[in-house]
Amino acid sequence: MKIAVLPGDGIGQEIVAEAMKVLRALKLPMDFGEAPVGGVAYEKTGHPLPEGTLALAREADAILFGAVGDSRFDNIERSKRPEQAILGLRKALGLFANLRPAMVYPELADASALRPEVVAGLDILIVRELTGDIYFGEPKGIRMTDGEREGFDTMRYRESEVRRIAHTGFLAARKRGKRLCSVDKANVLDTSQLWREVVIEVAKEYPDVELSHMYVDNAAMQLVRNPKQFDVIVTGNLFGDILSDEASMLTGSIGMLPSASMDKNNKGLFEPIHGSAPDIAGKGVANPLATILSAAMMLRYSLNQDAAAERIEAAVRKVLASGLRTADIAAPGAKRVGTQEMGNAVVAALGA
């Protein structure tokens, strides 16, 4: 199993190092190749996604990704900014299906900004389309119109793009609570009108899954009002970006949530959904659990190693149950452990 390891910027290095410790401890036949990505790659090579990095990612069976983003590069041209690396990888590798689970660990229900009874037992999955929509739609740019600057982007979806992500959503729902909520803005946007029509067509192939539709503004509200009403949410790239950040905070910490970005052949890129967190980078306090759980998703979705994935997830639960907390999930006054201590504890819990 060939794994491309792309730690990236900010806390990326620290958290990926802990996930690697956990993966190595499993003693599976895995080959790791590491390459720079994001701001660190730009500094080294002048490009956030150098050819060598893309080639390594192409050849791998799966990619373990840390984070990109560095405010030192906010003012360079957009095509060279760190974020372009992750957008470029998604597009170049056809990683169209982004799976973002948000679940509340019983031990952490108090860490949520919502009342514990609203979130206790929460387990939802956001399926976000990742290679289309206004993120990649052309034309886009900034032009002069009537003597002033005008910015413009294009929201667009082809029916084939909607169909394939709808299938991902239905298949995921079928394996879980059998309920799929498609989120759009069909009351205003033509793109969403088509989205909704296509999802309804695809639904005919999944009579066992209950389909509902929700406008994105209402979905944002329902996620904080009563998040447990959802099982699987399927939505476009932009709406999914926003709703998945919102959903992450239901769980108490964005530092806990893994994600998978899959192509049509089960190759995937696995990354924590939090960013590079420059404010705490290099301090050894970042929570490595989202990355460790991303490694578990990698084993399950790309490498067919379900048992190993479960071992990691069980170890994480055990460590949480034993009371270990990084700063982001610690109750006020509670003892906090650092990044490495948390990683080491997960490794130790694997063995038992």
Active-site residue (options: 185, 206, 231, 328): 185
Among 34, 61, 83, 246, binds ligand IPM (CB under 6 A): 83
Helix or strand holding residue 337 (H, E): none
CB atoms within 10 A of CB 213: 16
Q: Which is nearer to ligand IPM, 153 or 241 (CB)?
A: 241
**Site for ligand IPM contains 107 (CB under 6 A):** no
Strands 258-262 and 123-129: unpaired
217 is catalytic: yes
Among 61, 107, 153, 241, binds Mg ion (CB under 5 A): 241
CB atoms within 10 A of CB 30: 19
Report in angstroms how near the CB of residue 241 gets to ligand IPM at its nearest. 5
CA 161 to chain centre: 19
The first and second tokens of residue 272, run together, are 């924590």
How far is Cα 241 from Cα 259, in angstroms, rounded to an integer? 12
Report in angstroms how near the CB of residue 273 gets to Mg ion at its nearest. 7
Cα separation of the two ends of the chain: 25
The partner in contact with residue 87, picked from ligand IPM, Mg ion, none with C-beta cut-offs of 5 to 8 angstroms by kind, is ligand IPM
Report in angstroms how near the CB of residue 345 gets to ligand IPM at its nearest. 27
How far is Cα 133 from Cα 156, in angstroms, rounded to an integer? 5
Active-site residue (options: 61, 153, 245, 263): 245
Report in angstroms how near the CB of residue 312 gets to ligand IPM at its nearest. 22
Q: Which is nearer to Mg ion, 34 or 241 (CB)?
A: 241
241 is catalytic: yes
Among 107, 159, 241, 246, binds ligand IPM (CB under 6 A): 241
Residue span binding ligand IPM (CB under 6 A) among the ranges 79-87, 200-208, 209-217, 305-313: 79-87
The first and second tokens of residue 216, run together, are 């994105």
Q: Which is nearer to Mg ion, 67 or 232 (CB)?
A: 67
Q: Which is nearer to ligand IPM, 97 or 349 (CB)?
A: 97
Among 3, 5, 57, 86, binds ligand IPM (CB under 6 A): 86
SS (H, E, C) 30-50: CEEEECCCCHHHHHHHCCCCC
Active-site residue (options: 217, 264, 283, 306): 217
264 is catalytic: no
DSSP string computed for 49-105: S-HHHHHHHHHSSEEEEEE---GGGTTS-GGGSTHHHHHHHHHHTT--EEEEEEE--
Active-site residue (options: 9, 42, 105, 135): 135
135 is catalytic: yes
Report in angstroms how near the CB of residue 238 gets to ligand IPM at its nearest. 8
Q: Which residue is nearest to ligand IPM (CB)?
A: 83
How far is Cα 172 from Cα 194, in angstroms, rounded to an integer? 22
328 is catalytic: no
How far is Cα 279 from Cα 286, in angstroms, rounded to an integer? 10
Q: Which is nearer to ligand IPM, 186 or 238 (CB)?
A: 238
Directed axis angle between helix 12-25 and helix 339-351, to 10°? 10
Residue span binding ligand IPM (CB under 6 A) among the ranges 39-47, 82-90, 105-113, 200-208: 82-90
- Decide: helix, strand or coil at residue 206: coil
How far is Cα 144 from Cα 68, in angstroms, rounded to an integer? 32
Among 17, 26, 87, 220, binds ligand IPM (CB under 6 A): 87
How far is Cα 213 from Cα 198, in angstroms, rounded to an integer? 12
Active-site residue set: 135, 185, 217, 241, 245
Q: Which residues bind Mg ion (CB under 5 A)?
A: 241
Q: Which residues bind ligand IPM (CB under 6 A)?
A: 83, 86-87, 241
